[in-house]
Amino acid sequence: MRFSRRIVGIGVLLFVLSALSFALLHVMPGSVEEQILAQNPSLTPEAIDRIRTLRGLDRSGVERYGCWLLGNHGDLCAWWPGGSGVLFGDLGWSSVHRERVAPLLWRRFSITFALMFPAMLLSLLVAVPLGAFAASDPRVDRVARALTFLGLSTPGHWTALFAVFLFAVTLGWFPASGVTSVDDTGFFDRVYHAVLPVAVLMVVFVSRWSRFVRDAVRDALAEPFVQTARAKGLDERQVLWGHAVKNALFPLITVVTQSLPALFSGAVIVEQVFAHPGVGLLLFESVHAQDLLVAMVVFLVYAAATMIAMALADTLYRWADPRLRSST
Amino acid sequence: MTLRVRVAAGVLGVVTVACVVGPWLLPDANTIDPTNVYASASLAHPFGTDDLGRDVLARLLVGGRVSLLVALLAALAATVFGGTVGVAAGYLGGAFDRALMRTVELMIAIPKLPLFLVLAAVDFGRWFDGAAADVVRLVVIIAAFGWMTTARLARAEAKRLKQAGWVKAAELLGASPTHVLARHVLPGALSTIVVAATLDLAEFVVYESVLSFLGLGVRPPAPSWGAMLQNGLTYTRTAPHLFVLPGVFTGVTIAALLTLGEGLSDRLDPRRQV
């Protein structure tokens, strides 16, 4: 009930956001003409004027936004070159990549997903046990704190560069960049190319999440129900994993779901350093190159993913924690 | 104060003083020497030279001025704005509070990168000259997207303080909301805001670095830690010190700020003292 209401709210918000971002991208300094000229410097002013008319760049912003949404159905938007409209499921045409936006986005998205999903899953598998052990054993805690502190202190792009320098350039264990080799594009080759970027992403995720788990488990260990469990005669392992960790995982739901949009947005830094052409890099390039239809779609997919993740976090949390169901 | 926090404060002091005073004692950061490129450490150039033969230490310290100044100004702006708005929303509640929370959610949902690009293209040179324009632009970009955490924390703290006895007492004595807010709620929330500001500083040093790394920071030849990192990216094979050193400076500063923030929050929040 609440969730469906929020979905409607998200729809409205997306609509507002799409208008805002459309306006913003169009007032952005630097003209499309310059981009066209940069691609082909030998164009005459007349040819540029023709391109402007063909792409509808001489129309007003409101007109273009309307036709972007509704497509070239009626007479009003017959000039629109971007296809049959976003509202009708046609995402349009990329003027830089010279292909339809949907397959382009899909290809880039699969690259991002292949990087982010394993990184997040593995981080979770490392962060939860690490945090739990750190909460229960002071010696583990000291080591874990030092390591995660190191992870939190080093900026992500530096970690990425250092990983390339150490493991690719100096030691030569892993390739420095690319999604696959030129001559081999099999599954294992992809995994081999993903090791370094996934490891760099894991440093970021694990440092944050394991500290969070550690604090939550520590708090849970101080609760009366843990004392009860101990009084019942359960051994320390059962108390930790069966009672404390189980309860500490609820707040982790929020933290993890909040990171989920990264599955769609990617990490532009990691994608850039390792030359993985994912969604993050696509957004960066398309705004830079004034490939507006692409930028708009990526922008909105990301915004939608973030808002759905927030709603999902609230709902899951409510579902996991019975105390919250009745209140608010 | 624990030893950790003392060390952190000391490191931070040394870095700051070095960045402020250092450039006066060292060779000029932008003097090119084509006969002496990629040099390793020597007496004349303690951290070697870069691809144009410029003194790396001098550039690190001048760059540190830019990076720290940007982070400091942005943190100041974000703290004043986020703190004020957050405290007011938490205490006043109602429509203002709802509007703030929706705005914060929206700001988090918006992909920041394209907006960074758009803002980076805005020409601040109209109002400020040269290097100042770049610094102001970075501060505006970072502060505009960095105030939400402070606002959230300040709001939560103000909501908690609203229930406190002395606040209730002031209200019953007939104090106006502005008075209660300024004299009773804001001072109470100040410790939370100060901790948030310290952690913001650490985050904003990273922001500057990332923005410069993506080419949205200060314009060459002016150095900053992020810009030097980006420049060093090209020479990972020939001269690794060009990207390692700015990273170390950034990392050490962030580590010190994080430790300081943690120490402050432990000190100001008795519940967390174990």
Q: Count the Cβ atoms, other than its own, within 10 Å of residue A39.
A: 11
Burial tier of B171 (Cβ tally within 10 Å: 0-12, 13-18, 19+): middle
Burial tier of B52 (Cβ tally within 10 Å: 0-12, 13-18, 19+): middle
Arithmetic mean of pLDDT, A259-286? 79
CB B119 within 8 A of CB B140: yes
Which of A126-130, B23-27, B69-73 has the lowest average pLDDT? Answer: B23-27
Between A133 and A71, name the one with better pLDDT: A133
What distance in Å separates the CA atoms of residue A228 and residue A231, rounded to the nearest whole number?
5
**Over the range A266-297, which residues count as b (16 or more CB within 10 Å of their CB) and which as e?**
bbbbbbbbbebbbbbbbbbbbbbbbbbbbbbb
Closest Cα in chain B, distance from residue A151 (Å): 10
**Over the range B74-99, which residues count as b (16 or more CB within 10 Å of their CB) and which as e?**
bbebbbebbbbbbbbbbbbeeeebee
Chain B residues close to A153, C-beta within 8 Å = 251-252, 254-255, 258
Instruction: Report whether pLDDT(B251) > 80.
Output: yes
Which of A87-101, B82-96, B252-266 has the lowest average pLDDT? Answer: A87-101
Arithmetic mean of pLDDT, A256-264? 74
CB B233 within 8 A of CB B243: yes
Interface check for B110 against chain A (CB to CB < 8 A): the answer is yes
Interface check for B118 against chain A (CB to CB < 8 A): the answer is yes
The answer to whether B109 contacts A158, with C-beta atoms less than 8 Å apart, is no
Question: What is the band of B269 on the pLDDT scale with cuts at 50, 70, 90?
Answer: low
Arithmetic mean of pLDDT, B66-75? 90
Closest Cα in chain A, distance from residue B30 (Å): 24
CB B12 within 8 A of CB B261: no
The answer to whether B110 contacts A17, with C-beta atoms less than 8 Å apart, is yes
> What pLDDT, on the 0 to 100 scale, is given for residue B273?
47
Instruction: Give the β-pairing of A99-100 and A93-94.
Output: antiparallel
Residue in A161, A207, A298 to test binding to B, most B beta-carbons within 10 Å: A161
Q: What is the ipTM of this complex?
A: 0.76
Interface check for B243 against chain A (CB to CB < 8 A): the answer is yes
Arithmetic mean of pLDDT, B97-106? 83
Closest to A21 measured CA to CA, from A283, A308, A281: A283
Q: Indicate the DSSP class of residue A86.
A: G
What distance in Å separates the CA atoms of residue B151 and residue B193, rounded to the nearest whole number?
9
Report the sign of the C-alpha dihedral through residues B159, A260, A108, A19, in that order.
negative
What distance in Å separates the CA atoms of residue B245 and residue B229, rounded to the nearest whole number?
8
**How many alpha carbons lie under 13 Å from residue A154 in its C-beta half-sphere?**
24
Interface check for B236 against chain A (CB to CB < 8 A): the answer is yes
The answer to whether B111 contacts A283, with C-beta atoms less than 8 Å apart, is yes
φ and ψ at B49, to 5 degrees?
Answer: -125, 165
> What pLDDT, on the 0 to 100 scale, is given for residue A318?
75
What distance in Å separates the CA atoms of residue B75 and residue B110, rounded to the nearest whole number?
21
Arithmetic mean of pLDDT, B37-49? 70
- pLDDT tens sequence across A154-163: 888 888 888 8
Arithmetic mean of pLDDT, A281-305? 81
Between B274 and B253, name the one with better pLDDT: B253
Chain A's closest residue to B112, CA to CA, is: A299
Question: What is the residue-averaged pLDDT of chain B?
Answer: 81
> What pLDDT, on the 0 to 100 scale, is given for residue B220?
74
Arithmetic mean of pLDDT, A192-218? 86
Q: Which residues does A contribute to its contact with B (CB < 8 Å)?
A: 13, 17, 21, 24-25, 28-30, 149, 152-158, 161-162, 164-165, 169, 265, 268-269, 272-273, 280, 283-284, 287-288, 295, 298-299, 302-303, 306-307, 310
Instruction: Report whether pLDDT(A122) > 90.
Output: yes
> What pLDDT, on the 0 to 100 scale, is given for residue B80?
92
Per cent of chain B over pLDDT 70 is: 90
Measure CB to CB from residue A153 to each of B121, B240, B255 and give the nearest one: B255
Question: What is the band of B73 on the pLDDT scale with cuts at 50, 70, 90?
Answer: very high
Residue in A28, A34, A154, A158 to test binding to B, most B beta-carbons within 10 Å: A158
What distance in Å separates the CA atoms of residue A72 and residue A70, rounded to the nearest whole number?
7
Chain A residues close to B252, C-beta within 8 Å = 153
Instruction: Report whether pLDDT(B79) > 80.
Output: yes
- pLDDT tens sequence across B200-218: 898 898 888 888 887 777 8
Chain B residues close to A21, C-beta within 8 Å = 114
In DSSP notation, chain B reads --HHHHHHHHHHHHHHHHHHHHHHHS--TT---TTSTT----SSSTT-B-TTS-BHHHHHHHHHHHHHHHHHHHHHHHHHHHHHHHHHHHHH-HHHHHHHHHHHHHHHHS-HHHHHHHHHHS-GGGTS-THHHHHHHHHHHHHHTTSHHHHHHHHHHHHHHTTSHHHHHHHHTT--HHHHIIIIIHHHHHHHHHHHHHHHHHHHHHHHHHHHHTT-SSPTTS--HHHHHHHHHTTTTT-THHHHHHHHHHHHHHHHHHHHHHHHHHHH-GGG--
Instruction: Report whether pLDDT(B272) > 60.
Output: no
CB B117 within 8 A of CB A288: yes
Token pair listed for B138: 């970075």
Question: What is the band of B74 on the pLDDT scale with cuts at 50, 70, 90?
Answer: very high
pTM of the model: 0.80
Question: What is the band of B274 on the pLDDT scale with cuts at 50, 70, 90?
Answer: very low
> What pLDDT, on the 0 to 100 scale, is given for residue A113?
86
φ and ψ at A94, to 5 degrees?
Answer: -90, 120
Interface check for B49 against chain A (CB to CB < 8 A): the answer is no
Closest to B82 measured CA to CA, from B164, B194, B180, B162: B194
Token pair listed for A290: 């004034």
Arithmetic mean of pLDDT, A319-323? 70
Beta bridge partners of B254: none
Between B233 and B17, name the one with better pLDDT: B17
Closest Cα in chain B, distance from residue A320 (Å): 23
Question: What is the residue-averaged pLDDT of chain A?
Answer: 79
Arithmetic mean of pLDDT, A182-191? 75
Instruction: Report whether pLDDT(A326) > 60.
Output: no
> What pLDDT, on the 0 to 100 scale, is given for residue A126?
92
What distance in Å separates the CA atoms of residue A101 and residue B233, rounded to the nearest whole number?
31
First and final C-alpha spacing in chain B = 14
Between B9 and B54, name the one with better pLDDT: B9
The answer to whether A161 contacts B255, with C-beta atoms less than 8 Å apart, is no
